[in-house]
Amino acid sequence: MTERLVVVSNRTPKPGKVAAGGLAAALDGVLKQLGGIWVGWSGDFTEQPGEPRHLDVGGNEIVHIDLNKADHAAYYAGYSNSVLWPTFHMRPELARFNTDFYEGYIRVNEQFADALLPLLKPDDLIWVHDYHLIPLGQLLRDRGVKNRIGFFLHIPFPTPEALSAIPSHRHLIGSLNAYDLVGLQAKRDVAALEDFASPVEFVRPRRSSGPLVPVTGVNASVFPIGSDPEAFARMAELPATRKAMATFNKSIADRQLILGVDRLDYTKGLPQRIEAYERLLADYPEYRRKVSFLQVAPASRDTIQQYQEITGNLDYQCGRVMGRFAEIDWQPLNYVKRAYGQSTLAGLYRTARVGLVTPLRDGMNLVAHEFVASQDPENPGVLVLSIFAGAAEIMPDALLVNPYDADETAHAIDLALKMPLDERKERWAKLRADIERHNIHAWADDFLRVLREAPRP
Ligand code: ADQ
């Protein structure tokens, strides 16, 4: 029998769509290389869950599950994105706790487990992704699955205090015991998990009156995710990209470009970033008319109230900066609410003199990787990176900032704009080596190798 990889995630790639999420872009290449199937929600609703559908998307076999609309709402907008996302990003005050959410979350995870069961072969390696599917490993074990199962959490792991704010956290984290391997983005995440999983933390498996299980058994390690640096370097140099960027440069009159690229999300630190830019223009007036700040931020999860609110706040903030500094022939800031294809992003990264990646908390942040990958080695831009992004652990040669401190960020932008070519090249060469060492293929290979070798009970 030959080994197959079974990837399971909330969403799977759709034919011909630009994926704005980090996960879709990441796993597509891994599966092409190793072979196997990718199972996830189809994006469609059904009253009565039927048979999963198999399709070919860009050479990968994708298996789609339809979900009941109410269950999906409780699982996705509810538990995953109104409980786990804010809490795991240390914003429990933004969470909405509701028992129905957890019930729906478990029901959808059970549906995933039921759909997977008939597809599995004895030698399959199962790789479950992200916070939407934390209990899936346990639910598969409950159904008798003996395969090796790994789990990777793409977002940060919270401190024990934040985690304790989730009413069902013991069941949830206890279910991590079912995995042969739990992968986390950064050392700080493994430390937080170990902190929580102290000998006093015992959990009772859900729906069972059986014995309490210690959380300490979780086999967790750091696997920092990465990008495909060569692909970004290639895309940044394509003739079509260069042409588009020449036109773009004209539109900003060849001013120095400061760039931010993010999904619109309260974890990405956009208000703080705009405040820092405002501070730069106020305290370093020499940059007025000399720079142009472009923030690309397409809406995401816009059915959730907190996400709707950010748009309004950003519109207000950007308007304020414009009102304060704009001239008839200079627009200090441009805020674009749409997703772009990867080659356009690569072109923008390469055009930028400064890349601002300043999340308040982030599992990794692939934009930081992509920015470095896309630079011109002879004239590289400078990465200003938040100390709260997982990326900061592997990219010490970026200009690291505390994103809450507008003065510090403004100062870093000033340093970046003034940085001599030699220093830019030196820093970039080190960063390029970092992202190459941690590229997406190395990430997948490492995780799967350790999963294959993980000690079994
Ligand atoms: P995200 O929170 O989505 O991912 P990130 O790592 O920055 O964050 O990934 C964003 C991806 O979306 C990048 O590949 C980027 O190119 C793309 N993207 C962003 N803005 C875009 C735009 N305007 N147009 C087109 N594409 C855009 C989660 C975690 C991260 C973790 C990743 C991968 O929150 O911390 O790094 O998963 O594990």
CA–centroid distance, residue 419 to ligand 1 (Å): 27
The CATH 3.40.50.2000 domain(s) of the chain lie at 5-225+441-453, 229-437
Question: Is residue 182 within a helix (H) or strand (E), and if so which, with residue range?
Answer: strand 181-184
pLDDT given for residue 277 in this prediction = 98
Q: Tell me, what's the pLDDT at 92? A: 96
Q: Is the pTM of this model over 0.85?
A: yes
Where does 185-289 show beta strands of DSSP type E?
Answer: 202-203, 213-214, 220-222, 256-261
| pLDDT given at position 204 | 47
Q: Taking residues 47-66, what's their average pLDDT?
A: 87
Q: What is the mean pLDDT of residues 95-99?
A: 93
Atom of ligand 1 nearest to the CA of 261: 20
Question: What is the tens place of the pLDDT at every residue in 360-406?
Answer: 999 999 999 999 999 999 999 999 999 999 999 999 999 999 999 99
Beta bridge partners of 334: 294
User: Given this model, what pLDDT does residue 366 score?
Assistant: 95
Q: What is the pLDDT of residue 198?
A: 61
Residue 370 C-beta-side C-alpha neighbours within 13 Å? 27
Q: Are 190 and 184 a contacting pair, CB within 8 Å?
A: yes
pLDDT at 441: 86
Q: Which residue lies with its CA nearest to atom 18 of ligand 1?
A: 20
Distance 334 CA to ligand 1 centre (A): 20
Does ligand 1 lie within 6 Å of residue 360's CB atom?
Answer: no
Q: Which residues are identified as catalytic?
A: 154, 362
What local confidence, expressed as pLDDT, does residue 325 receive? 98
**Angle value at C-alpha 178, between 174 and 184, nearest 5 degrees:** 75
Q: What is the pLDDT of residue 27?
A: 72
The token pair that represents 369 in the structure block: 């990787």
Q: Which helix (H) or strand (E) holds 181?
A: strand 181-184
Query: Residue 330's CB: how many other CB atoms inside 10 A?
Result: 15
Position 26 scores a pLDDT of: 63
Please, which contacts does 53-61 make with residues 24 or more away whose CB atoms are closer than 8 Å?
57/12, 57/13, 57/14, 57/15, 58/13, 58/15, 58/28, 58/32, 59/32, 60/13, 60/28, 60/31, 60/32, 61/36, 61/37
Q: What pLDDT is recorded for position 414?
A: 98
The mean pLDDT value of the chain amounts to 91
Query: Is the pLDDT reported for residue 200 higher than 60?
Result: no
Question: What pLDDT score does 20 carry?
Answer: 41
Q: Does the Cβ of 392 fall within 6 Å of ligand 1?
A: no
Cβ–Cβ < 8 Å for 373, 233: yes
Please give the distance, rounded to the nearest whole angstrom, from the Cα atom of residue 368 to the centre of ligand 1.
10
Q: 254 is written with which tokens?
A: 């060849």
* Residue 299, ligand 1, Cβ within 6 A: no
Tell me which CATH homologous superfamily contains domain 5-225+441-453. Answer: Glycogen Phosphorylase B; (3.40.50.2000)
pLDDT of residue 203: 53
pLDDT of residue 132: 98
345 CB within 6 A, ligand 1: yes
Name the more confident of 197 and 260: 260
50 vs 272, more confident:
272
Average pLDDT of the segment spanning 209-228: 76
Of the chain, the percentage scoring pLDDT greater than 70 comes to 93
25 CA distance to ligand 1 middle (Å): 9
Among the ranges given (114-123, 196-205, 252-261, 401-410), the one the predictor scored with the smallest mean pLDDT: 196-205
More confident residue, 204 or 48: 48
Q: Identify which has the larger pLDDT, 177 or 33.
A: 177
Which pLDDT does position 21 carry in this prediction? 42
pLDDT at 14: 73
16 confidence band (pLDDT: 50, 70, 90): low
Mean of the pLDDT values across residues 189-214? 64
**pLDDT digits 0-9 by tens, 295-337:** 999 988 888 888 888 888 899 999 999 999 999 999 999 999 9
393 lines ligand 1 (CB under 6 A): no
CA of 414 to the centre of ligand 1 (A): 26
Is residue 77 predicted with pLDDT exceeding 70? yes
Which among 127, 348, 366 is the best mutation to test ligand 1's pocket, defined by most ligand atoms within 8 Å of the CB?
A: 366
Q: How confident is the model at residue 249 (pLDDT cuts 50, 70, 90)?
A: very high
Task: State mean pLDDT over 8-13.
Answer: 89
Q: How confident is the model at residue 13 (pLDDT cuts 50, 70, 90)?
A: confident
**Residue 229 near residue 373, CB atoms below 8 Å:** yes
Q: How far is CA 35 from the centre of its chain?
A: 24
Fold of the domain built from segment(s) 229-437: Rossmann fold (3.40.50)
For 119-160, write each residue's pLDDT tens digit. Answer: 999 999 999 999 999 999 999 999 999 999 999 999 999 999
Q: What mean pLDDT is predicted for residues 194-209?
A: 58
